[in-house]
């Protein structure tokens, strides 16, 4: 268990030293909050849907966690290319512990970035419906971080070069984000879009987060938690299986 803690702490220290990464991670979410939150609010309000800033803020927070979690896999490729991973793998600890420690560290940094964006959203004018929903919102953010960090670990364990990883991530990130209901309600969608949103794992994370923060979930919180919980276990197991077979 000591290896898990050491690797977890290493990822957090690496993130804390990267002040540029911390600042840069706020740029795109801030653009979404201002340009979309305020720009589309009049249209959204005329459609009888209320304040668009309040609607889109949970989606933007989830987007930040998604991006950070998925791209954590590139650090795995970096460590493989520069030898640190080999030094880690020859340590007398199970590879499962190494994978769990890295996953916990990457998920924690993604969660921190999500919380930073949540603070920016509050400054921009977003207000949660009730403080009682904050613990549930935190749980959904943590589940999103774990699910997509596991995806990043799986892809990073399978590929050997950064160019290939970036191509795969670009193929995954935008469809996952745009089909997740982060930017639009799930009501009154055409049939094909209903199917696509239902098979997108981020849909349930965004819906649960939105339900916890502004009491506007499309599904029940129990369903959202169940889906995200099952995905977290299944994808972490898949990531552990791929990591156990990694070759350096």
- The tally of domains found in the chain comes to 1
Handedness of CA 162, 165, 171, 173 (dihedral sign): negative
Taking Cα atoms as reference points, which of 88, 198, 108 lies closest to residue 149? 108
Q: At what angle do helices 134-158 and 52-70 cross, to 10 degrees?
A: 30
In this structure, are residues 210 and 217 in contact, taking their beta carbons and an 8 Å threshold?
Answer: yes
Instruction: Give the C-alpha separation, 64 to 141, whole Å.
Output: 10
Q: How far apart are CA 170 and CA 163, in angstroms?
A: 11
- Distance from CA of residue 111 to its chain's centroid? 8
- The reported pLDDT for the residue numbered 229 is 94
The pTM of the full predicted model, rounded to 2 decimals, is 0.88
Query: Please, which residues have CB within 8 angstroms of residue 222's CB and are 6 or more apart in sequence?
Result: none
What is d(CA 213, CA 200) in angstroms, rounded to the nearest whole number? Answer: 21
How far apart (Å, rounded) are the C-alpha atoms in residues 155 and 157? Answer: 5
- Let me know if 147 is exposed, middle or buried by CB neighbors in 10 A (0-12, 13-18, 19+): buried
Tokens of 155: 């892809």
- pLDDT per residue of the chain (248 residues) written in tens, 0 to 9: 565 656 656 666 665 556 556 666 677 788 888 887 777 777 777 766 678 888 889 999 999 899 888 887 777 777 776 656 666 666 666 777 777 877 888 888 888 888 888 888 888 888 888 888 899 999 999 999 999 998 888 888 787 777 777 788 888 888 999 998 888 888 888 888 889 999 999 999 999 999 999 988 889 999 999 999 999 999 988 888 887 777 65
How large is the angle between the packed helices 134-158 and 162-178, nearest 10 degrees? Answer: 150
Look up residue 106 and give its two tokens. 């990457």
**End-to-end C-alpha distance for the chain, whole angstroms:** 23
Secondary structure in 3-state letters for 121-152:
HHHHCCCCCCHHHHHHHHHHHHHHHHHHHHHH
pLDDT at 4: 63
- Measured CA to CA, the distance from residue 107 to residue 227 in angstroms comes to 18
Sign of CA dihedral 73, 79, 81, 86: negative
Q: Give CA angle at 145 (141, 151), nearest 5°.
A: 145
Enclosing domain of residue 102: 2-244
């Amino acid at each position: 268990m000591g290896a898990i803690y050491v690797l977890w702490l290493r990822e957090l220290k690496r993130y804390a030293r990267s002040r540029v990464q911390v600042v840069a991670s706020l740029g795109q979410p801030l653009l979404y909050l201002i340009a979309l939150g305020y720009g589309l609010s009049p249209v959204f309000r005329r459609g009888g849907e209320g304040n668009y800033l309040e609607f889109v803020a949970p989606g933007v927070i989830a987007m930040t966690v998604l991006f950070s979690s998925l791209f954590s896999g590139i650090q795995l490729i970096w460590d493989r290319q520069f030898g640190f991973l080999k030094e880690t793998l020859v340590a007398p600890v199970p590879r499962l512990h190494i994978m769990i420690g890295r996953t916990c560290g990457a998920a924690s940094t993604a969660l921190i970035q999500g919380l930073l964006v949540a603070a920016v959203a509050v400054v921009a004018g977003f207000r949660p419906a009730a403080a009682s929903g904050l613990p549930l919102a935190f749980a959904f953010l943590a589940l999103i971080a774990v699910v997509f960090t596991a995806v990043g670990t799986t892809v990073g364990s399978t590929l050997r070069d950064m160019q290939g990883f970036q191509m795969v991530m670009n193929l995954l990130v935008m469809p996952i984000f745009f089909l997740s209901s982060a930017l639009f309600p799930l009501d009154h969608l055409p049939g094909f879009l209903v199917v696509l949103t239902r098979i997108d794992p981020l849909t349930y994370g965004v819906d649960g987060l939105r339900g916890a923060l502004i009491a506007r979930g499309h599904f029940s919180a129990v369903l959202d938690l169940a889906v995200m919980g099952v995905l977290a276990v299944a994808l972490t197991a898949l990531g552990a299986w791929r990591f156990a077979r990694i070759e350096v």
